Structure 1
Amino acid sequence: MVVDCMTRSFLVPRGSDVPLEIKIAEPALRAQGLSLTTWTSSFVLASLLHKLPVDFPPSSSPIQVLELGAGTGLVGLTAAALWNVPIVLTDLAPIVPGLAGNVKLNDSLVKDRVRCGSLDWAAPDNLTLQTGETYSADTSKACVILAADTVYSEEHPELLSKAILRWLDRGSSSRVILTYPLRVAYLDQIRQLWELLEAGGLEAIQEGREQASADDWDDEGLCEWSVWAWKRIQENGE
């Protein structure tokens, strides 16, 4: 059951004088004990996308960009507006209807480039779109994977890294772009995530920190971001 709903407009930089306006509805899902909230790190990542170089080689995959833990969809919607490629936003099944609603709110910006679905990080071989269609990680790899504020429990580093390594294409242009708030309680989990990604064959090729305005956000304002690529590709140019 959906109760209460607030619609917000986010002005996201895109490297020109006129920012993108992304509309986001944030309903409370009382029946599932969940809420859809746009966290600081999502806005930080969305605001960085226009600065980060990405390359999309020709591909037959229906998923050029995959967002994990999409929440309200701000990051993925921004990517769709900027990059003009097929994007799939994923989260837990109860979150997906809210995601789909936000895609519809921004239809004039993203057209038909964005789809929504559920992906279980504990069993990440397949994702199921809201339409019922299923994609397999064996045949539908993503060139870019996005994730913002997806590490907030002891289980998340292993689960998130498993999903990333399963769905990321092995090409030289493939990238993982992560952002997370530097909450003291989860710094150990962030370090563990880095270790697992490195053990899986990835390396951070760019990283930085951004401080969000305390006037605009109640969450931790200091966020760290990183861009990852396959080590083998970087070292050998294969």
Structure 2
Amino acid sequence: MSRTFSVPRGTDEPVEIKIAEPALRAQGLSLQTWTSSYVLANLLHKLHVDIPASDGAIPVLELGAGTGLVGLTAAALWNVPVVLTDLPPIVQALAGNIQLNASIVNGLVDCGSLDWAAPEHLTLQNGQTRSSHTNKASVILAADTVYSEEHPELLTKAILSWLADGSSSRLILTYAMRVAYLDQIRELWQLLEAGGLEAIAEGREQASVDDWDDECLCEWSVWRWKPRTDTKA
């Protein structure tokens, strides 16, 4: 199936993102655009990010990109390079959606696989690797990445590994408020805070139940590193 999403970009005309959803499955889930990805894509034009120029850094990294709607939108709105990551079986589909939107993203988007259990390296589609030790990300995006008991710990591990140091770095999360995973969402917040991050903005958005058959109430949050305190006596 192929769909076109009209995503707002402030006062300008909306950007049209084309998304193909092939019949693929990974970890028991079909490859499709979930409600929270659409919600986050629609929020990006409202969220201010400061992405400094830095050799070797990844301006925007998306974890669990799925069909790539969020990362493609970020590239189109912010005009910065974006790396979409997901499980190996999904990467070819991501590459296809990058190609579908080539005229919009202007060569700014790449894709690859990243294992949250061992997140120090990601492998791009062309076989090149990027290391979290040398190629950290200024902004990390993650939509609908909490749907199992293991995900809070694994996702936190990947985030803490890749998010660049500095007061301008941001983590932007969105997830559907599914009753079955509310405990995992709370655990994710606790782990992120224990890892040195703090939420600086948050809110909830209700997607149209006529357009989506998933949970339509979604929560979003923006995170940064906690300011370091001066420990000098």
* Band of TM-score, shorter chain: over 0.9
User: Partners of 2:29 and 2:109 in 1: how far apart?
Assistant: 23
Aligned: 1:58 with 2:57: no
Which residue number corresponds to residue 3 of structure 1?
none
Quote how far apart the aligned CAs of 1:33 are.
Answer: 5.7
Moved more, 33-42 or 45-54: 33-42
Task: Report deviation, 1:100.
Answer: 0.4
Q: Is the Cα contact below 8 Å between 1:125 and 1:137 reproduced in 2? A: yes
**1-side partners of 2:57 and 2:97: how far apart?**
21
Q: CA RMSD in A?
A: 1.4
Q: CA separation in 2, counterparts of 1:103 and 1:169?
A: 25
Where do 5+ consecutive residues of structure 2 fail to align? none
After superposition, give the CA deviation of every residue in 1:174-217 in whole Å (9 maximum; x if it has no partner): 00000000000000000000000000000000000000001110
Equivalent of residue 79 in structure 1, options 74, 79, 102: 74
Deviation for aligned residue 1:29: 2.0
Ranges of 4+ aligned residues in structure 1 off by more than 3 Å: 30-34
CA distance in 1, matches of 2:193, 2:27: 35
- Map of 1:102 onto structure 2: 97
Aligned residue pairs, count: 230
TM-score (norm 1): 0.94
The AA in structure 2 aligned to 1:61 is G
| 2:219 alignment partner in structure 1 | 224
Q: Does residue 24 of structure 2 align to residue 29 of structure 1? A: yes
- Worse-matched range after superposition: 68-77 or 80-89: 80-89
* TM-score, reference length from structure 2: 0.96
Distance 1:89 1:30 in 2: 18
Q: Does 1:203 align with 2:198?
A: yes
Question: Which of 92, 96, 121 does residue 126 from structure 1 map onto?
Answer: 121
The equivalent position to 1:38 in structure 2, one of 33, 39, 64, is: 33
Distance 2:111 2:81 in 1: 11
Tell me how far apart the structure 2 counterparts of residues 188 and 31 of structure 1 sit (CA, whole Å): 23
Find the counterpart in structure 2 of residue 88 from structure 1. Answer: 83
Distance 1:13 1:133 in 2: 34
**Distance 1:60-1:30 versus aligned 2 partners, 3 A rule:** closer
Q: CA deviation at 1:167?
A: 0.2
* 1:69-92, Cα deviation, whole Å (9 max, x unpaired): 000000000000011111100000
| Structure 1 stretches lacking a partner, 5+ long | 1-5
Counterparts of 1:141 and 1:151, CA distance in 2: 22
Equivalent position amino acid for 1:173 in 2: S
The 3-state SS of whatever aligns with 2:93 is helix
Cα distance between partner residues in 2 of 1:30 and 1:170: 35
In the alignment, the residues of structure 1 paired with residue 12 and residue 110 of structure 2 have an alpha-carbon distance, to the nearest angstrom, of 29
Tell me how far 1:12 sits from its aligned partner: 0.7
TM-superposed CA distance for 1:133, in Å, is: 0.2
Give aligned-pair identity as a percent: 77
